[in-house]
Amino acid sequence: MRLISLLNQYQHFPGFVYEGARYCTASQTIEIPVRPRHGSKPVCSGCHKSAPGYDHLGQRRFEFVPLWGFMVVLLYTMRRVNCRDCGVRVEEVPWGIGKHQLTKAYMLFLAHWARKLSWQETATAFRTSWDKVCQSVEYVVKWGLEHRQLGSIAAIGVDEIAYAKGHKYLTLVYQIEQGCVRLLWIGRERTVESFEQFFAMIGKEVAGQIEFVCSDMWQPYLKVIRERCSQAIHILDRFHIVTKMNDAVDDIRAGEARRLARDGYQPVLKKTRWCVLKRRANLTDGQRFRLRDLLRYNLQTVRAYLLKEDFQQFWEYESPTWAGKFLDEWCRQVMRSRLEPMKKVARTLRRHRELILNYFRARKAFSSGIVEGLNNKAKVTMRKSYGFRTYHVLETALYHALGKLPEPNVAHRFF
């Protein structure tokens, strides 16, 4: 079967003809000249309607999906139209958009791989440039955002994430209900203003139907949720509380390790960081031994660790009432402990008691590991982000990885 027959079968554009395929030895490229079918009218790029031809421009090269390690380009002499509404304009061609050098099929192809590999790896694998991979992802994301259906939203989770070496924050809003888990929105900063833009985007009606909101204890988020989603059950998620408690234990451990070293004691806290932060079930054998060893000492770290472990029980409760009693008792104990970072956690938990107990009121309706999973995925995307030079590119990458955006329809998917 000839190359052209294949193309005609899977990538046929009405009004255009593939003239043939030739191999160019110098550039190791397969060149495929394309011409308009006789009598077909060009389409105006301004209004997307057909219009009488005006003149011709120079020949353009459109990169197509590579074949057997050879570059494939479509060669086409662009026409200009004399449109009644738009004046003299360049024509629109179905395989390309605007001034892009890549065909839509090739951009979809690259964007598809850029979700599995890093952008640099994608560029290397297909002997193209990082910039062209970036353009491809931008095209797909832009198309996806324009064509996605928000529909009704029952549950959202909001989270902040640090970027640019921890000095700047993004606000990420996810949809977190069964059957639909996706990144809905990205905002700069983590302020009241930025989070409110999300509600501006979805509109009052959709916001009014949200039943569950899951967030951490960041004040601006709490404020916006109170105002914009007053009908929803607001849940302070388990993941966020566990994170806070781990931070407190880590603080105590680091401070105590420094003090012990300064006062010339045995370095018993050395290499214990993960022993006290990880769940007991996830420890390696070595870590389990270290932990057992550590627990023999009367250290602040040990006391903080035991309080944290004790709190695990909290999540086992079924009834909000009993969970509430446990929470109160745990906080009372911590407040007597003289472990300042843990006391800070207890004070926060007391302040948000009702929101935390919502976790038990809502637990049947939704699973709480979702936000944590999405958050990790977002971090991985950023870590692979070597070369994300601007905020805009980072935003594009996150939507691409987590947005579950629709993709342009194509007759044939190249892979």
Q: Which residues bind Zn ion (CB under 5 A)?
A: 44, 46-47, 83, 85-86
* Helices 369-383, 391-402: inter-axial angle, 10-degree rounding: 130
CB of 89 to Zn ion, least distance (A): 6
Tell me the residue type at 84: R
Q: Which is nearer to Zn ion, 4 or 86 (CB)?
A: 86
CB of 97 to Zn ion, least distance (A): 16
CB of 42 to Zn ion, least distance (A): 11
Please state the φ and ψ torsions of residue 5, each to the nearest 5 degrees: -65, -40
Question: Which residues, listed in sequence order, are joined to residue 72 by a DSSP beta bridge?
Answer: 30, 64
CB of 81 to Zn ion, least distance (A): 7
194 membership: H or E segment, kind and range: helix 192-208
Q: Which residues contact 232 (CB under 8 A, 6 or more apart)?
A: 210, 211, 212, 213, 225
Q: Which is nearer to Zn ion, 87 or 286 (CB)?
A: 87
Question: Using CA atoms, how far apart are residues 127 and 145, in angstroms rounded to an integer?
Answer: 28
Q: Which is nearer to Zn ion, 46 or 94 (CB)?
A: 46
Q: Where are the beta strands (DSSP E) in 68-112?
A: 70-83, 87-90
CB of 48 to Zn ion, least distance (A): 8
Q: Which is nearer to Zn ion, 83 or 401 (CB)?
A: 83
Is 228 within 8 Å of 215 (Cβ atoms)?
Answer: no
Q: Which is nearer to Zn ion, 78 or 201 (CB)?
A: 78
Q: What tokens does 385 get?
A: 């982000």
Q: Which residues contact 263 (CB under 8 A, 6 or more apart)?
A: none
Question: Using CA atoms, how far apart are residues 7 and 102, in angstroms rounded to an integer?
Answer: 17
Q: Which is nearer to Zn ion, 93 or 141 (CB)?
A: 93
163 membership: H or E segment, kind and range: strand 155-163
CB of 101 to Zn ion, least distance (A): 24
Question: Helix or strand or coil: residue 213?
Answer: strand
Q: Which is nearer to Zn ion, 45 or 396 (CB)?
A: 45
Q: Which is nearer to Zn ion, 44 or 236 (CB)?
A: 44
CB of 86 to Zn ion, least distance (A): 3
Long-range contact set of residues 220-223: C-beta below 8 Å, sequence gap at least 24: 220/190, 220/191, 220/192, 220/195, 221/158, 221/160, 221/171, 221/190, 221/195, 223/192
Is 73 within 8 Å of 102 (Cβ atoms)?
Answer: no
CB of 99 to Zn ion, least distance (A): 18
